Structure 1
Amino acid sequence: MDSSMASAGGSGDESSQNLNNGRKTSYKRLTAAQTTKLERFIKDCPHPDEAQRRQLAIEIGLEPRQIKFWFQNKRTQIKNQHERADNTALRIENDRIHTENVTMQEALKSMLCPACGGPPCLEGEREHAIYNMKLENAHLKEEHEKVSRLLSRFLESQMISPDQFPQGFFPIIGSSSNAAPVGNSLNQVIDGTPSHDPNVALQVMDSGHNSYASDCIEKTLMFKVAAAAMDELVRLIRINEPFWVKSSTHDGKLNLQLENYAKMFPRTSHFKGANVRVEATKESGIASISSVQLVDMFLDSEKWVNLFPTIVSKAETMKVVERGLAGNRSGALQLMFEQMHVLSPFVQPREFQFLRYCQQIEEGLVIADVSFDSFQQKISTFHSWKHPSGCLIQELPNGCSMITWIEHVEVDDKIQTHQQYKDIIGNGIAYGAERWIMELQRICERFAAFYVEKIPDHDSAGVINSLEGRRSVMNFSHRMLKIFCECITMVDGLDFPLSDLENGGGVKVSIRESRRVGQPSGLIVAAATSIWLPLHYMKLFEFFMDDNNRAQWDVLTCGNQAHKVAQISNGIHPGNCVSIIRPFIPSENNALILQESFTSPMGSYVVYAPTDVATMSSAINGEDSSLLPVLPSGFVITADGEPNPNAALGAFDTSDRLGGSMLTVAFQILASSDGTNMPNRRAGAAVNSLLTSTILRIKDALNCNNLE
């Protein structure tokens, strides 16, 4: 058998070679006759059993092992052949289907609707398509009317170009990369010499009946208004006379000469009537913060509220038009909203929708604010208009900044302010540049205390032993202050005239349903009022800061004494601090009071809230305090006279103001956790009674009960 296989070494099928498939045992090639017989057999029986393989091996003269390997290899070869054939057939079918698909798509593209000349629409979709087109058409008409109306308003007021200013006025030196683009039809209307024809605005709008065109026009107007505001603000900052003249009184404040101002920056008034007034103030001061940090806070609405919690109660960034350069944010432009409120529920909040524009100039960074009517705002509901205002921030070598601030607003005071606050509001004490500067200086001192690297021994009192705990308590207290300042605006609920509100006096009560994180859930009742006392504002502040007097006015102590468990200093004045107070209540060992107090020549605040040991312990241990519930009450103390300009922050003298003080008292209570147990009027009466009784106790302690 071996010799016959050797003689046929060159014959046989190539697939029959190496039957052992790499095994060590080697076999000689099959003859043509053996291969033919095997192939004939495999057609009838592709999977022979062992007996069949032995029988076949005897018949053709091979070993059973060779027969087994040959059948395995042959089956694999046949399987591969079938797979190749199937793949070829599938590929041909796929090419055919793809060709048909391309042909059908081309045919669909060339099809036209015989009625409108557009792509065909199925019968069931026709009515739906017509309805959608009518809605889109109505929307486009509304956009067209809004943009046309706003364009007409802007085209009516001619802005003076920089060429028209006298030689003595210096141009702005800074980046111009974010100036309004030129070259299109809209910019030729706004920036060029021609045309106050209202049809031009309509032609501009007719060229693009869509929201994209509206956005482009609005963005161009934003840059135009912001650039003009920046130019005006820089000139007002750089030049005092003839715009700013020192007051003849002892305070030496800079007053804006409206006649000289109107000659250089002519504009129409935004409000009309006997109650319209203009407030314009300018002030400078040094704050311990870098210019880059300060600009970042100005351009972040959340940080903006945290920076000025006693002035800005709400803020929102409505649109970011340009982010500006990395680092100093020069060129940044955004549309913002803010609600401002100070001092008393009888001082009306102010709301502004304005553009905030940042620009690097030769002296430093300038932040310019100016009111702006957005296209999305159908009707202007604001009673205040911000003319170009803002500040120049100059970096100093010691990490501080010199701030020059200008605040220039036009106010329509339709709701008469309380008589005692008219001078404070009208003279710019409440919302003027001096208040912004002093509040910035105070909050920068607080920042310095927040980032202190070692806890002072007199601050910890053995209670707060970690920097994380100190910062968590300070964050908790700062959030408490923000909630209190927002509470006294009295705009989130229904006012209850429980007392005589003639001339803006009496007690104002509001009731709101709270579901906000960080406040107790349920029905919250707030009451606030302001009274005049014939005492210096520092005397009042010292009264509330004296622990020995707390039992005379604080109902949380139940008439018992209290002592400070811990104190965190956050300013130059010893009264600027965060305190944790424990009242001596025999029946209650879990009660604590969190309090923040601070004072400045512009006003003093004492804000406090009840809490418990578990809540305060989590903050002291450094845990996140942003979710801890707090419901603050407190006092705002304001002198009713003019501040002494020589009284720097932290330097207080009983002679720096004349007259008495205005004391605002505000309380909040959780009337019901489910909002249904106590009727609104009963809840309002309860907190009103609490507030009035507290005022009586304060007057009694201060020997002021003989006042009407």
Structure 2
Amino acid sequence: MDLPPLISASEIPRVREDELESKSGSENAECNSGDEEEAGRHPKKKRYHRHTQHQIQVMESFFKECPHPDDKQRKELSRELGLEPLQIKFWFQNKRTQMKTQHERHENQQLRNENDKLRAENIRYREALSNTSCPNCGGQTTPGEMSFDEQQLRIENVRLREEIDRMSSIAAKYIGRPPGSNPFLPSPLTPETFDMYGPGDILRGPAGLSSGEVNLDKPMVIQLAVSAMEELMRVARVGQPLWIPSLDGNTEVMNEEEYLRGFSRGVASTNFGLKAEASRETAIVIMNNANLVEMLMDVNKWSMIFSSIVSRAATLEVLSTGVAGSYNGALQVMTAEFQVPTPLVPTRDSQFVRYCKQHEDGTWAVVDVSVDNLQPGPLLRCRRRPSGCLIQEMPNGYSKVTWVEHVEADDRAVHRIYKSLVNSGLAFGAKRWVSVLDRQCERLASVMASSFPSGEVSVITTQDGRRSMLKLAERMVISFCSGVGASIAHQWTTLSGTCGDDVRVMTRKSVDDPGRPLGIVLSAATSFWLPVPPQKVFDFLRDENTRSEWDILSNGGEVQEMAHIANGRDEGNSVSLLRVNSVNSNQSNMLILQESCTDPSGSYVIYAPVDLVSMNVVLNGGDPDYVALLPSGFAILPEGPQGIENGGAGSLLTVAFQILVDSQPNAKLSLGSVATVDSLIACTIERIKGSVLGDLAQ
């Protein structure tokens, strides 16, 4: 939480004279003039030391870094500033008191504002209830004269109208339409419509938007968001008959007929070729609800946390930032592209509205729903039905997250070896989102750790160095994930690989990116199936002792782990700094930064060569953003649900390399460079297959 602005120490209230005298003795008091006899006739007047501007500035600066200096630090300050240690102590005490008072004053003002808001809402509710009419005769009535069901329906009607009015008012300034002229405002709730559709359907309107520019009727977007929120709350919480056990009994499957029966107004798509996928998953994660909500509503944080799933994302328009300084009521139109880490599965591009709300029981909910049908547009390959998560606060900074992923998608272009994974919903489903979120929350907790966990092997001696290395590894992982999928931003060229598997290659120009080496970068990736369990492949690739069996760069040399940072409960989640003691003198003392991560949805081993000078800067806490990286590595996915549940079956392995082929950005790519990369991939695959299949046969 940000601290309030610092105030000059000269403005800090002085300690009473008798208190200061009792604490500091007579050091700060002097006689005005005259001898002892003169002093005896006139009471002594105390003259207190007034700090110079330089002393104040030094102490202010020190206070920002350390509000509670110890004895040693106070003595050092006293020597530097020419003050007594006791004077230093009193100044810091006064400063802390002032900051605490200022902070409490700020919090009190926030509480007063919240109280005024609640009081105003209460008045509006009372007025709305007092103005209700009898459903039979139309005359005025009071809540006590209505049945309980009718009373609850009318209270719900008032609440929904309040929400629509508030959000319509926000949108009115964008379109110049009076708030009360919303032609899509639903009719009041009645027992008949409640029984027919349920509260989640009353406000349902059209759902969708073309993938071009944002040109939407804002009240329709608002109506759609409120309706989607109601649906998400119901879908996330109900059981059978909407959700039924799968055939293996380990997962839930949505009953599509039951869904269409209860949520048929404007949510089902008639687009040819789209198939519905629905999944739900719950987990306890180590992040409080406020930080989770902020992460989901900030597109940069969201795409960074889910970099293995979200290949591109942007906020197109913000309709509401929320109320009372929170994300409660925040509404924004977004676009995102979702991927699987392989060039063999097409990405899913979607444009949707994201709406955040805190409900009366304290639960936060964030919902997405496609806006592709709000105006005519081209046929899309993916459409998001109301999807998102419910976040409930748990003790000790944890949160319970219930995630619902519900889409219609065209998966006809998926490569045959990934069909089982995609058709099961595991490639893009709720289990993958929750698994990645849980792992990333553990990683963030590791970054924020105030002490070195026991058992870490490291040449890092400071917390700043540890954080810099983790930040560099995070950028490496994001760069790898953004370059390995089948994003529409990539111009892949397919080559017939010498290893029997097609290799996709593309080139990138790096001109002014400090995180990439200058010149032409060639990216190459291929995916293939291995009849080996994913865990076995992951353990083999991340182990520095077996690295020489597949890594051509190590050239058969010994690999030594210089630093090891744990990133969660699973020992496979870690960041390492490796030294390759190559037999080749040109590669002597080469360093490799590596991050390995695993969760129930898949595993990664990602690495990049780093030079010794740059890495020393990082290990000493320097800025890692200026270290040039070309990440390569592996993505290991289960071939289907059976691989996730029992850790067996086969693996879907993606191998990807990034290589600088020319340091001149305007140079042309040669066929020799492509052939070199193709040969590198082929040799790596052959070595991996030879090692893991050989071990399996033994």
Counterpart in the other structure of 1:700: 690
Contact 2:534 2:648 in 1 (8 A): no
Distance 1:357 1:624 in 2: 36
Deviation at 1:326, TM superposition (A): 3.7
Between 636-645 and 239-248, report the one with greater CA deviation: 636-645
Counterpart in the other structure of 1:99: none
Distance 2:491 2:696 in 1: 33
Contact 1:598 1:606 in 2 (8 A): yes
Closer, same or farther: CA 670–180 of 1 in aligned 2, 3 Å: same
Counterpart in the other structure of 1:45: none
Counterpart in the other structure of 1:149: none
User: Is 1:452 aligned with 2:449?
Assistant: yes
Kindly provide the amino acid, as one letter, of the partner of residue 641 in structure 2: E
Closer, same or farther: CA 643–571 of 1 in aligned 2, 3 Å: farther
Distance 2:334 2:245 in 1: 32
User: Is 1:425 aligned with 2:422?
Assistant: yes
Distance 2:287 2:542 in 1: 29
Closer, same or farther: CA 529–706 of 1 in aligned 2, 3 Å: farther
Counterpart in the other structure of 1:467: 463
Closer, same or farther: CA 349–517 of 1 in aligned 2, 3 Å: farther
Counterpart in the other structure of 1:209: none
Deviation at 1:706, TM superposition (A): 12
Contact 1:641 1:657 in 2 (8 A): no
Contact 1:635 1:666 in 2 (8 A): yes
Kindly provide the amino acid, as one letter, of the partner of residue 688 in structure 1: D
User: Is 1:537 aligned with 2:534?
Assistant: yes
Number of residue pairs the alignment of both structures matches? 506
Closer, same or farther: CA 706–571 of 1 in aligned 2, 3 Å: closer
Distance 2:449 2:158 in 1: 39
Counterpart in the other structure of 1:361: 359
Counterpart in the other structure of 2:658: 668
Q: Where in structure 2 are there 5+ consecutive unaligned residues?
A: 1-148, 173-177, 189-212
Distance 2:296 2:249 in 1: 33
Closer, same or farther: CA 703–246 of 1 in aligned 2, 3 Å: closer
Deviation at 1:496, TM superposition (A): 2.1
Secondary structure (helix, strand or coil) at the match of 2:443 reads: helix
Distance 1:682 1:370 in 2: 47
In the TM superposition, what are the counterparts of 1:162-177 in structure 2 within 5 Å?
176=163
In the TM superposition, what are the counterparts of 1:232-631 in structure 2 within 5 Å?
232-251=231-250, 253-266=251-264, 267=266, 269-270=268-269, 272-273=271-272, 275-326=273-324, 328-363=326-361, 364-373=363-372, 379-380=377-378, 382-414=380-412, 416-456=413-453, 458-461=455-458, 463-491=459-487, 492-499=489-496, 506-515=502-511, 516-586=513-583, 587=585, 588-631=587-630
Distance 1:173 1:232 in 2: 16
Distance 2:689 2:279 in 1: 36
Closer, same or farther: CA 584–643 of 1 in aligned 2, 3 Å: same
Distance 2:179 2:454 in 1: 67
Distance 2:396 2:345 in 1: 39
Deviation at 1:342, TM superposition (A): 1.8
Distance 1:541 1:355 in 2: 37
Kindly provide the amino acid, as one letter, of the partner of residue 473 in structure 1: M
Choose from 179, 182, 185 the match for 1:187.
182
Counterpart in the other structure of 2:669: 679
Distance 1:240 1:485 in 2: 36
Deviation at 1:480, TM superposition (A): 0.3
Kindly provide the amino acid, as one letter, of the partner of residue 529 in structure 2: W
Closer, same or farther: CA 173–240 of 1 in aligned 2, 3 Å: farther
Contact 1:313 1:486 in 2 (8 A): yes
Deviation at 1:242, TM superposition (A): 2.4
Deviation at 1:328, TM superposition (A): 4.1
Q: Where in structure 1 are there 5+ consecutive unaligned residues?
A: 1-162, 194-213, 648-655
Deviation at 1:172, TM superposition (A): 12
In the TM superposition, what are the counterparts of 1:631-650 in structure 2 within 5 Å?
631-642=630-641
Contact 2:315 2:334 in 1 (8 A): yes
Deviation at 1:269, TM superposition (A): 4.9
Secondary structure (helix, strand or coil) at the match of 1:458 reads: coil
Closer, same or farther: CA 517–370 of 1 in aligned 2, 3 Å: farther
Contact 1:510 1:684 in 2 (8 A): no
Closer, same or farther: CA 706–286 of 1 in aligned 2, 3 Å: closer
Deviation at 1:173, TM superposition (A): 8.0
Closer, same or farther: CA 184–703 of 1 in aligned 2, 3 Å: closer
User: Is 1:690 aligned with 2:685?
Assistant: no
Distance 2:643 2:655 in 1: 25
Contact 2:510 2:520 in 1 (8 A): yes
Deviation at 1:682, TM superposition (A): 3.4
* CA offset digits 1:658-704 (Å, max 9, x no partner): 42111111111011111344535433222111111110111122236
**Aligned-pair RMSD on alpha carbons?**
3.1
Closer, same or farther: CA 665–191 of 1 in aligned 2, 3 Å: same
Secondary structure (helix, strand or coil) at the match of 1:529 reads: strand
Contact 2:345 2:486 in 1 (8 A): no
Counterpart in the other structure of 2:25: none
Report the TM-score, using the length of structure 1 for normalisation.
Answer: 0.67
Deviation at 1:643, TM superposition (A): 5.1
Distance 2:342 2:216 in 1: 41
Contact 2:184 2:219 in 1 (8 A): no
Closer, same or farther: CA 333–268 of 1 in aligned 2, 3 Å: closer
Moved over 6 A (4+): 170-175, 214-217
* CA offset digits 1:336-371 (Å, max 9, x no partner): 111111231111111111111001113400001011
Contact 2:462 2:621 in 1 (8 A): yes
Kindly provide the amino acid, as one letter, of the partner of residue 444 in structure 1: C
Distance 2:215 2:187 in 1: 18
Contact 1:511 1:680 in 2 (8 A): no
* CA offset digits 1:130-156 (Å, max 9, x no partner): xxxxxxxxxxxxxxxxxxxxxxxxxxx
Kindly provide the amino acid, as one letter, of the partner of residue 243 in structure 2: W
Deviation at 1:216, TM superposition (A): 10
Secondary structure (helix, strand or coil) at the match of 2:597 reads: strand
Kindly provide the amino acid, as one letter, of the partner of residue 483 in structure 1: S
Contact 1:556 1:610 in 2 (8 A): no
Distance 1:172 1:344 in 2: 50
Deviation at 1:310, TM superposition (A): 1.3
Contact 1:601 1:643 in 2 (8 A): no
Distance 1:250 1:172 in 2: 42
Closer, same or farther: CA 559–178 of 1 in aligned 2, 3 Å: farther
Distance 2:506 2:241 in 1: 47
Distance 1:445 1:289 in 2: 9
Kindly provide the amino acid, as one letter, of the partner of residue 224 in structure 2: V
Distance 1:692 1:483 in 2: 23
Secondary structure (helix, strand or coil) at the match of 1:497 reads: strand
Contact 1:533 1:704 in 2 (8 A): no
Counterpart in the other structure of 2:55: none
In the TM superposition, what are the counterparts of 1:7-18 in structure 2 within 5 Å?
none
Secondary structure (helix, strand or coil) at the match of 2:659 reads: strand
